[in-house]
Amino acid sequence: MDPELLRTSFAVVERRAEFALKYFYSHLFWHHPDVRALFPRDSPEDKERQRDRLFAALALVIARLEGPGLHDYLRDLGRDHRKYLARPEHYTAVGGSLIAAFAAVSGSAWSAEVEKAWDEAYGVIAEAMLDGAGRAESEGEPSWWDAEVVGRAGHGDLAVLTVRPHRRLPHVPGQHVSVSTPRLPGVWRPYSVGNAPRADGTLDLHVSLVADGVLSPELVRRTRAGDVLRLGPAGGRLTLRTPVERPLTFIAAGTGWAPVKSLLEQLAAEPGPYDEARLFVVARDIAYLYDRAALDGLRTRLPRLDVTVITPAPGRPKLQATERLLTALGSRAKWARHDVYLAGPPGLVREVTGVLPGLGSDPARVFRDDLPPTGQDQARTLGPGEWLLQRPRPHWHGTPACPGPRDAPADG
């Protein structure tokens, strides 16, 4: 692949992203009408989200072209796409329509050389994804797991659902699973697992309500014990990789507490000492510190864990929590020695990731999961590639500007 040529071409497509997205789906459904069955949702909002998620995944691939782990990411993506009942012929159809859309919107920037680069790139992407799907099939892994809801704890507009898969779902602390409900067929969203593996196979899913979300209102407001959800295979790379003798810093904001909690449970369960660990728990309001009993229990099990809880001052805006977090991080030392595990709303994660190197952290030792965001998160101007990951709402003439930043969780 020619990474520079692909990035340059993709930048041209980005400038006409909305038209490219519509052209892609029109071309795909016209030439392959059977593919419509993979997109059962019919409202304009649902179609828009489906389009955005496809191109969000593509933007992540473009961003990782020369980075480590691209093929592993693509294999995991192909393994996960089995839940959509995607077959090899669908990959061929999508590739043809994708390149047709890119050619249609690129104008004079499109050439035989660019088309060849995209043909080769998509071939690599499809091959890796099909390899991941094939490996899962050969190992007898189901396309999804049916899981009964066996417990529910409500915390305002947040719910912790405890589910028991009918067949054990392998996972390691820090990973996430995609979730769907029969009441919204075809709609899947990723949620982090909030516990280390248990003997009974149950998983805790921490779900925060996203006001304009599709799945989160169903899970938070209407899902009860006895309901059956579908779970995709576990994935993600926010997993504990630090030898116990290295210092650790965990930063958890909002439902980012779920994967961090599972990592801390793993740390508490492993024999042997650990050198040093510190935890920052961030909430946009004191009411959103929803798991204090579990936090207190982990403090007892990890006596050398230094815990800092951060919320805005009473009556102050919720964004003050981020300011207070950055101040607290700046007051700590030895960042060069620490591995950092970071989870929370995408805007906060980006901001903290940008600040840590200035404190002395090695960027290669800052670990987070790259999940496409589902809410509007526009705390700063979006750069190349990010526009598709989090597309701003249109500014129509004669209407007010878009609302300000919203502290929405990555999982919606």
Q: How far is CA 253 from CA 181, 256, 260, 343, in A?
A: 26, 5, 10, 6
pLDDT of residue 259: 96
How much of the chain exceeds pLDDT 70, in percent? 83
pLDDT tens digits, one per residue of 182-216: 998 888 899 999 999 999 999 999 999 987 788 99
pTM: 0.78
pLDDT of residue 51: 58
Overall fold of domain 248-367: Rossmann fold (3.40.50)
In CATH, which superfamily holds the domain spanning 3-138?
Answer: Globins (1.10.490.10)
**Residue 402 in this model has a pLDDT that exceeds 60:** no
Closest CA to 61 of 349, 372, 347, 348: 372
Overall fold of domain 145-231: Elongation Factor Tu (Ef-tu); domain 3 (2.40.30)
pLDDT of residue 322: 87
pLDDT tens digits, one per residue of 279-327: 999 988 887 788 889 999 999 999 889 999 999 887 777 778 889 999 9
pLDDT tens digits, one per residue of 2-51: 888 998 998 898 888 788 888 998 999 999 988 887 765 544 555 555 55
Rounded to whole angstroms, the Cα distance separating 224 from 80 reads 26
pLDDT tens digits, one per residue of 47-63: 555 556 666 777 778 87
Ordered by start, the domain boundaries in the chain are 3-138, 145-231, 248-367
pLDDT of residue 385: 44
Tokens of 3: 């990474």
Strand order in the sheet with 189-192: 189-192, 176-180, 228-231, 145-154, 158-165, 203-208
Rounded to whole angstroms, the Cα distance separating 98 from 101 reads 5
**Residue 387 in this model has a pLDDT that exceeds 70:** no
**Residue 231 in this model has a pLDDT that exceeds 70:** yes
Radius of gyration of the chain (CA): 22
